[in-house]
Structure 1
Amino acid sequence: MDRLLLTLLCFAFFALCLYGMWRGWRRQARTQSVLVPPFPTVPEERGELLLSTRGLYVSTTMSGHWQDRIVTRGAGMRGPAALRLYDRGIEVDRDGAPGFWIPRDSIVRVGTAKGMAGKVMGTESLLVFTWRLGDVELDTGLRGDDLSVYPQWIEQAKGGAQV
């Protein structure tokens, strides 16, 4: 009987922890939905395709706060994605999640980083785009399948932005 009670208590504690994490995620999404405008949708006219690569969409965070993941509107879900650079901006096409558009004129910086929102590597393995969305500055990170294309992305995507 004692063992059964202890097992039930462990399961109840585990369920309570999961519920608390779910509530925290929802509260953060509600708070961010007021602070962060909706992400731009991919326009019909994108311009000429300049570069394309696949990899793991890591996250979008508040710029300069690499652990402050944006969770509102599905932006917090990590997963496979394709990045496509066009004349007018960058398409972030996420598998199984809503994609979004980073307009070329909103890009502030393009570079690499060692970590972002729970994904940390020993080398500069993340391609990070710092961009403006309304009054908010965001960092969007991708861990590319082919790291050798990062210099091309940094050079071509900056489009007048600082590296």
Structure 2
Amino acid sequence: MDRLLLTLLVVAFFALAVYGMWRGWRRQARTQSVRIPPFPELPENLGEPTLTADGLYVATTNAGHWQERVVTRGVGMRGPAVLRLYEQGVHVDRAGAVGIWIPRSSIVDVKPGKGMAGKVMGTESLLVFTWSVGDVELDTGFRGDDHGDYPQWINEVKGGAQV
């Protein structure tokens, strides 16, 4: 009987911890949805992409604060994605989640990075887009399967935008 009681206590504690994390995530999303304006919609007639890269969408954070993950509007979860560069901007096409459209006019900077929101690498294996939505600046990180493409991405994005 003691073993059963102890097991139930551990399970209840675990369930309470998971519930607390879920509530905290939801509260953070509500707070951020007030501070961060809605993200731009994906335009309809984009044409063919200039560059494409397969990889992993890592996170979107507040610019310059690589641990402050943005969780509002469905951008909080890491997952497989395809990064596409168009003349009008960059599309982060996330598998099973809402994509992120970054218009060229809102791109502030693009550079390689070492870490973002719980994903830290020893080398600069992230491609980080700093962009603005309204008057809020965000960093969106992408870890491509081929890191050798990063210089080409940086040159193409900086060459076509006022970065």
Shorter-normalised TM-score: what interval?
over 0.9
> Residue 31 of structure 1 aligns to which amino acid in structure 2?
T
Question: Which digits, 9 at most, give the CA deviation of each residue in 1:24-54, with x for residues without a partner?
Answer: 0000000000011111121012255211111
Preserved contact between residue 110 and residue 161 of structure 1 (Cα < 8 Å): no
TM-score, length-scaled by structure 1: 0.96
Matched residues, number: 162
Equivalent residue runs for 1:11-160 within 5 Å = 11-158=11-158, 159-160=160-161
Q: Output the CA distance in 1 between the equivalents of 2:25 and 2:133.
A: 22
> Residue 52 of structure 1 aligns to which amino acid in structure 2?
T
Which 4+ stretches in 1 moved above 4 angstroms?
Answer: none
Question: Which digits, 9 at most, give the CA deviation of each residue in 1:99-155, with x for residues without a partner?
Answer: 121000110010011100011111101000000100100000000011110000011
- 3-state SS of 1:65 partner: coil
- With over 3 angstroms needed to count, the CA separation of the structure-2 counterparts of 1:55 and 1:24, relative to structure 1, is same
Q: Give the percent of matched residue pairs that are identical in Structure 1 and Structure 2.
A: 72
> Residue 20 of structure 1 aligns to which amino acid in structure 2?
G
- 3-state SS of 2:50 partner: strand
- 3-state SS of 2:148 partner: helix
* 1:161 CA displacement: 4.4
TM-score, length-scaled by structure 2: 0.96
- 3-state SS of 1:49 partner: coil
Q: Output the CA distance in 1 between the equivalents of 2:55 and 2:89.
A: 18
Structure 1 gaps, min length 5: none
Preserved contact between residue 53 and residue 84 of structure 2 (Cα < 8 Å): yes
Preserved contact between residue 47 and residue 88 of structure 1 (Cα < 8 Å): no
> Residue 84 of structure 2 aligns to which amino acid in structure 1?
R
Preserved contact between residue 104 and residue 161 of structure 2 (Cα < 8 Å): no
CA-based RMSD: 1.1
* 1:160 CA displacement: 3.8
